Chain A
Amino acid sequence: MTPTRKSARVMQERVTAYGFLLPNILGLMIFVFIPIVYAFYVSLHDWNALTPKVFVGFQNYVTLMTDSKWWHSVLRTLMYSVVYVPLLFCLALLSAVIVNALRGKTVGIVRTMFLLPFSITSVIAAIIAMFLLDPRSGLINQLLSFAGIGRQQFLGSPSQAIYCVIFTVLWINLGYNMTIFLSAIKEIPKDYYEAAHMDGATRFQSFRYLTFPLLRETNTFILIVTTIASFQVFDQIIVMTNGGPIDATEVSVLYIYKEAFQMLHMGYSSALAFVLFLIIFAFSMIQLKLVSSNK
């Protein structure tokens, strides 16, 4: 093959590739990048969405530095992530390993049960959880009373509310993440396990030295996507607590939403959204660095 013919083919492949990517690139441009650039432009203004924008430079960014309510919401979000991400990761992996070991007709039923909460609209799932967690007539309090434990306030308690939200989001997302782990586990060739078994490896050793390392890419994916999603938690909170009681569940995205739509501080909320983006970006980078240094 002559170099010119080769480069022509490469060129043609590239054109085809970009042709396939074009619809997505356009979609991302129109619905993600342009709004983000516009949001940054808005963040440099004082704007209530109703009257013309007034340019204020970086004033909104200066204001947010001393906005204690904002930083508390960031801390609350971090706390949420620190509890939620490892819990989801471990539980999803554990249930995938268990489901993978199941044999017979029950496998399908168990998998469906895990995935069921994810198949309901997240808001409906949140409402179901609210019924379960109702302090007066909820099922969970009734079960607790059988065990001799007193009635809990759950979503009506500033110290319990965030954990109730974590429990609900975990319940919704566990099945989906388990399915991803499960399909990755199924990709691992059986010969490896047979070899390990012949070498006398225990089940735990097979998991520790075979399954877990071979799931590295899936682990990275789940960790990063779950962390980002945990920073964006919103739907369930606005339905279940609307940030209360006494701001105990007011996470960053909810605070941004309230500043934008309840207070009509569009410029300020855009600045907050930008800072949150930087925080998430920094966390994702740290995670990537940690994961890639393990290679």
Chain B
Amino acid sequence: MKLRWKMTALAAISSMLVLQGCSSSAPAAGNAAGGTQGGKDSQGSQAAAPAKTGKVKLTFWDMHSDAESKFFKDLVDEYNKTQDKVQIEYTAFKQDDYQSTKLPTGFASGNGPDIYMISPGEFMKFAKAGLMKDLTPYFTPEVKSDFLPASLDAVTYNNQVLALPFELELLGLYYNKDMLDKAGVQVPKTWDELHAAAKKLTTDKVAGLIIPPDKGAYFNFIWYPFLWQQGGNVLNADGTKSTFNTPETAKALDFWGSFFQEGLSPKKLQLGPWEIGNLGNKTAAMQICGTWAINQIEDKYKDVPIGLAPLPIPAGGKAATDAGGWKMAVNGQSKNADEAAKFVMWAFGSSDTSHALKWGTEVKFAYSPRKSVVEKGKDIYSKGLRKVFTDEIYNSAIPEPRYPSEVLDAVGDAMQYVMYGKMSGADAAKTIDAKLTDILSKTK
């Protein structure tokens, strides 16, 4: 009897570990997926800049790596030197769990940063929680008019500008010129042409078209333009009502799904779908990818004949592409929010546009949401493949939507239902429309 009690207790303790197991496993997985960015963890850089006495200490959390992280580190060093009121501590985390774990747990435990990076996909979560300071008063009229209105609309909530956009990343269709030539395929301009080209180019070793197969923010990000090209959208303009159950949605879902159902796009990738290496190592003929790919093509895949074109459009549709990009935000609950806001505006929101220009032209290739910066960098923005983005794609950019996580997840479900033949586009649109309506009624 005594033994049985002991065994019962043992079973209870070990099964209780499931609760604890959830929390301990999470960072392990995040670390592993982080791969090459291993050296950029919090402990590595946390101790970088101890605050001097008498100065206000601010913390700045970032998710960039390599040269991009160095840019922000240098930016902080420069700011620390140019004034003696505040001392900023810069910390770079791995992107994989930065928004999903680091930021929420940091804020939840009261140890959140004063300044942080945020993506459109996660914007609403933090905006609604009051974790973003209103930056509107910090804009001078000249600077405000220098920003593209759509870029500020994307960070405006309750008539307040809650974050500072500093880059616009656009999408295009990259392709291997040799492969298209050999197959006698013209660069696709319409959906039908894209589908036919992918079919002709697919072999045992080469994928016709690389688009993301796994659920997540990037999955939806690549799909939205196909919906927008026909005038469709996930939600209405103020995000209060689902507009998902439409023929446009059904068509965009069916079109997306057809590439997977017919084996023209792989359902599993060894490289991330955002990595231009898929084209670079010649395992794919076409890939939908963003502006960020250009520097890598020029550095790493010089010998691969890669071309670029705007995303193909459906018959009767109009050009549309996604404009993604990170934003800088200031913790609205920070004691030193005012000082933090000054730094953010100094970096990308002042009349001096040198940082913005350096970021978009030297550190990486991205458009600036500021017209004067695009004008100043004209020469660089028309160099090589960049010219295609500048001349043919830039004008059709629509800011990446900032939907709540539940909406993001539901849209991803619709895409997968069609990809794997579980439902037709029309049925998935109808099913998920009901789900979205339910989600929106709960989040009001």
Partner-B contacts on A (CB < 8 A)? 28, 31-33, 35-36, 39, 48-51, 121, 123-124, 127, 130-131, 134-137, 153-158, 224-225, 228, 231-232, 234-235, 238-239, 241-247, 253, 256-257, 260-264, 266, 273-274, 276-277, 280-281, 283-285, 288, 292
Contacts and interface: CB of A to CB of B under 8 A. Distances in A.
Contacts of A246: 413, 416-417, 419-420, 422
Contacts of B7: 288, 292
A284 B32 CA distance: 31
A277 B215 contact: no
Contacts of B177: none
Contacts of B417: 246
Contacts of A238: 29, 33
Interface in B1-46: 4, 7-8, 11-23, 25-26, 28-29, 32-33
B267 A156 contact: yes
Nearest to A48: B129
Interface string B245-280: 000000000000000000000111010000000000
Given A155-B268, A156-B267, A288-B8, A231 B18 contact: yes
A256 B20 CA distance: 12
B29 A235 contact: yes
A50 B131 contact: yes
Contacts of B20: 31-32, 35-36
B104 interface: yes
B229 to A, nearest CB: 25
B22 A260 contact: yes
Given A39-B19, A135-B267, 9 more contacts: A50-B104, A123-B28, A136-B204, A239-B33, A246-B417, A261-B101, A277-B16, A283-B15, A288-B11
A131 B16 contact: no
A273 B17 CA distance: 10
Contacts of B216: 242
Contacts of A247: 413
Given A253-B22, A263-B406, A135 B14 contact: no
A44 B283 CA distance: 51
Contacts of B207: 136
A261 B15 CA distance: 22
B21 A232 contact: yes
Contacts of A130: 268, 270
Contacts of B427: none
Contacts of B13: 28, 32
Contact of B18 (A239, A262, A263, A273): A273
B213 interface: yes
A165 B6 CA distance: 34
Interface residues of B, number: 55
Contacts of A232: 17-18, 21, 25
* The 9 A-B residue pairs with the shortest CB-CB distance in the complex, in nearest-first order: A156-B267, A123-B32, A50-B129, A284-B11, A49-B108, A280-B15, A156-B268, A238-B29, A246-B416
Given A158-B420, A285-B8, A274 B26 contact: no
Nearest to A227: B15
B405 interface: yes
A280 B207 CA distance: 44
B32 A154 contact: no
B139 interface: no
Contacts of A136: 204-205, 207, 266, 283
Contact of A124 (B12, B32, B126, B268): B32
B441 to A, nearest CB: 14
B372 to A, nearest CB: 36
A292 B4 CA distance: 8
7 contacts: A36-B16, A155-B268, A156-B268, A246-B422, A264-B125, A277-B18, A281-B15
B108 A242 contact: no
A242 B11 contact: no
B214 interface: yes
B77 interface: no
A261 B100 contact: yes
Contacts of A281: 11-12, 15-16
